[in-house]
Structure 1
Amino acid sequence: MSHTTQRPSLVQIARAAGVSPATVSRAFNRPALLSARTRDHILHTAGELGYRPDRIGSSLRSGSTKTLGLLLPTLENPVFAACFEGAEARAREVGYSVMLSTTGYNAERETAAARDLLDHRVEGLILTVGDPATSATLAELQSSDAPFVLAYNESEVHPFVSVDNHAAAGDMIAHLAGLGHRRMALITGPLEASDRALHRLEGARQRADALGLPVPEHLAMARHTAVDHERLGHLLARPAAPTALFCSNDLLAAAVIAALAEQGLSVPGDLSVCGFDGMAFGGLMVPALASVYQPSHDIGRQACHALLQRLEGHHVTGERLAHRLIPGGTVAPLIPAVLS
């Protein structure tokens, strides 16, 4: 014999809590109208009865789904997973949930995923795009008046939360220069799929120029987190090969270090290598990875907060969070023998 567990009604909760059904309804739909003591009593009673709010029915009645969309390039990179956790934590604080989709750094998939999220009636979007200046996705969102906030991207016209990629990369170049390195190379994924990598390259080159250093070389890989061993080998085989490799993200830096080991080169003995992101796994590497730390959890949290502000009618602009250098053991002072 099967048994069906039925959701207790508002009337049943009201009877058990000793309040009116209208008061129970307020506890779930307009909690600010009740005292904390009354609200907590009703929620506790409802929990004991096994009640869960019917969010679908509530959204149909109120016209609000209490759901935000989050569009990220990938979850392969822990940076974006931390961003998601930060956004979700902030959303939960005000009774919202987050619906996630990834784009694989593909512009067409990016636009399609944004449309899918809007079709699911999310109230706004937090998203990372290839380049805000040329993004068809953002143009479409603007034409439909869909509220959005960028995460990691920087923009002069759209609200965003990021670090100053230009300055952050420049600070790492200055750090390497302080250790005696003059010949450096930037290793990135495809620049057309990541304005962050482009800003880091530009920032590195500008700082090198200001310091009177040779222009850092640029080596673009086919993917943002994988190394083309042949192209890396060609770079290092040049007569005036770089003594330090600055990778546009930590996963790429880890892949470069592994590729160098396969070629019989040690880090930092033969080459210094650093990344960008400051992810926790870098501290577990031996030696620990030198990197530029950006607060990905806070980027997600602040981007969500900014979107919630937009939904309430507030004007939101750009916000750059602080970065810092993680010296790490994969970067070392240049010894004279390397220069010979």
Structure 2
Amino acid sequence: MQTSDAAVRPASRPSIIEIAEAAGVSPATVSRAFNQPGLLKPQTLARITEIAQRHGFRPSRVGRSLRSGSTRTLGVMLPTLANPVFAECFEGAEQCARAAGYSVMLTATGYDPDRESAALQNLIDHQVEGVILTVADAARSALPRNLQSAGMPYVLAYNESSAHPYASVANRRAASDMVSHLAGLGHRRIALLTGPLTASDRARRRLDGARAQARRLGLEPVAHWPLPSHTAADAERLQALLQAQPAPTALFCSNDLLATAVISALRTLGYGVPRDISVCGFDGMAFGALMHPPLTTVRQPNEDIGRAACANLLAQIAGRAPAATDLLPHGILTGGTVAAVRPAPTSNRKSRS
């Protein structure tokens, strides 16, 4: 049975001329109602708005962009949305942009530094007016410098930089605070687990902060255990690392997804957390509080990071303020995956006289 074109073709959107005729005004007046409503009398604006809503009319964003030379679109480049950290950051940025009348175009790089340039160029090709971006390494990446040279407003998210505007927590200080927390529970042998450091300068800063604080507190040097992925644990590699003597009493993972993967792998290998070994993360993701036991982690305000980056970007675009840096507060969420170090067993035998 054939379906007629009329049955599948969506109803055409009313034109600005049809809305003008229905309201008894000129098309120019309808245009002003949506672009410069303050120029119209309240009753005229109300009549046009009511008729437009009744007919399902919305002004063409494309046409408006062509006339004004402004797309009112921001670009966001993140490593992934599979990690809730970046999904929350995107939500904060999108909410801020939407409140200001902007749309957001998103692209993801999959933690691959080689994909970053193409991903950013794709955003620029779509004529975004500014960019929020997370790169593998802000000190080595040419992208922020290229944006700066081109006069394109931009803000880094999570990357800390002395040369570029950013929104982040202080990663070294946050990792230092977690090491202090572990030391307060008697942990002197700590290992920090990360994915490839070439794909995350955040992980490298956390490692630097953890090692520096261990030195200050007189702990044993923090071991670095690199894993193939930032968010997945390799049980065989983990087993090999744990066989090193003396083994660490606490594993500090560079993000919460990695921490949950490590805990799962440890249980597969027969280790109890925190009975046999303590595990903590970095991010403060909501799912950590639902784990059993709840995850001990560094909390960072991801939505606020996205919101701050977007507000900074919008201020640059509007010419209200120069590029700025927002260093947001962090905290330690104490869950049940970290416990005090148990004293070594002692002999109950009495000495003979």
Q: Same fold (TM over 0.5)?
A: yes
The equivalent of 1:222 in structure 2 is 228
Contact 2:171 2:202 in 1 (8 A): yes
TM-score, structure 2 length as denominator? Answer: 0.90
TM-score, structure 1 length as denominator? Answer: 0.94
The equivalent of 2:205 in structure 1 is 199
- 1:166 lines up with 2:172 in the alignment: yes
In structure 2, the CA distance between the partners of 1:176 and 1:35, relative to structure 1 (3 Å rule), is farther
Contact 2:144 2:164 in 1 (8 A): no
Tell me, what secondary structure is at the counterpart of 1:336?
A: coil
Q: How far, CA to CA, are the matches of 1:260 and 1:38 in structure 2?
A: 69
Over the matched positions of the two proteins, sequence identity in percent amounts to: 59
Pick one of 108, 112, 118 that aligns with 1:106. Answer: 112
The equivalent of 2:322 in structure 1 is 315
Measure how far apart 1:116 and its partner are. 0.8
Q: Please tell me the residue identity of whatever aligns with 1:233.
A: Q
Measure how far apart 1:7 and its partner are. 2.2
What is the aligned length? 340
Q: How far, CA to CA, are the matches of 1:301 and 1:27 in structure 2?
A: 30
Q: How far, CA to CA, are the matches of 1:116 and 1:150 in structure 2?
A: 17
Q: How far, CA to CA, are the matches of 1:181 and 1:317 in structure 2?
A: 39
Q: How far, CA to CA, are the matches of 1:175 and 1:34 in structure 2?
A: 62
Measure how far apart 1:31 and its partner are. 4.3
RMSD between superposed Cα atoms in Å: 2.1
Q: Please tell me the residue identity of whatever aligns with 1:320.
A: L
Measure how far apart 1:94 and its partner are. 1.4
Contact 1:290 1:326 in 2 (8 A): yes
Q: Please tell me the residue identity of whatever aligns with 1:303.
A: A
Measure how far apart 1:319 and its partner are. 0.7
- 1:337 lines up with 2:344 in the alignment: yes
The equivalent of 2:103 in structure 1 is 97
Tell me, what secondary structure is at the counterpart of 2:167?
A: strand
- 1:266 lines up with 2:272 in the alignment: yes
Measure how far apart 1:34 and its partner are. 5.9
- 1:289 lines up with 2:311 in the alignment: no
Contact 1:243 1:338 in 2 (8 A): no
Measure how far apart 1:328 and its partner are. 0.7
Residue by residue over 1:50-85, the C-alpha shift from the partner in whole angstroms, topping out at 9 and shown as x without a partner, is: 012211111111100111110000111011111111
The equivalent of 2:189 in structure 1 is 183
- 1:126 lines up with 2:132 in the alignment: yes
Q: Please tell me the residue identity of whatever aligns with 1:259.
A: A
Pick one of 46, 57, 60 that aligns with 2:63. Answer: 57
In structure 2, the CA distance between the partners of 1:40 and 1:210, relative to structure 1 (3 Å rule), is farther
Residue by residue over 1:227-262, the C-alpha shift from the partner in whole angstroms, topping out at 9 and shown as x without a partner, is: 122332122112211000000000000010011001
Q: How far, CA to CA, are the matches of 2:119 and 2:249 in structure 1?
A: 42
The equivalent of 2:144 in structure 1 is 138
Q: How far, CA to CA, are the matches of 1:294 and 1:34 in structure 2?
A: 46
Q: Please tell me the residue identity of whatever aligns with 2:251.
A: L
Contact 2:282 2:298 in 1 (8 A): yes
Measure how far apart 1:338 and its partner are. 8.1
Q: Please tell me the residue identity of whatever aligns with 2:95.
A: A
Moved more, 109-118 or 32-41: 32-41
Larger radius of gyration: 2
The equivalent of 2:254 in structure 1 is 248
In structure 2, the CA distance between the partners of 1:269 and 1:35, relative to structure 1 (3 Å rule), is farther
Moved more, 224-233 or 155-164: 224-233
Tell me, what secondary structure is at the counterpart of 1:337?
A: coil
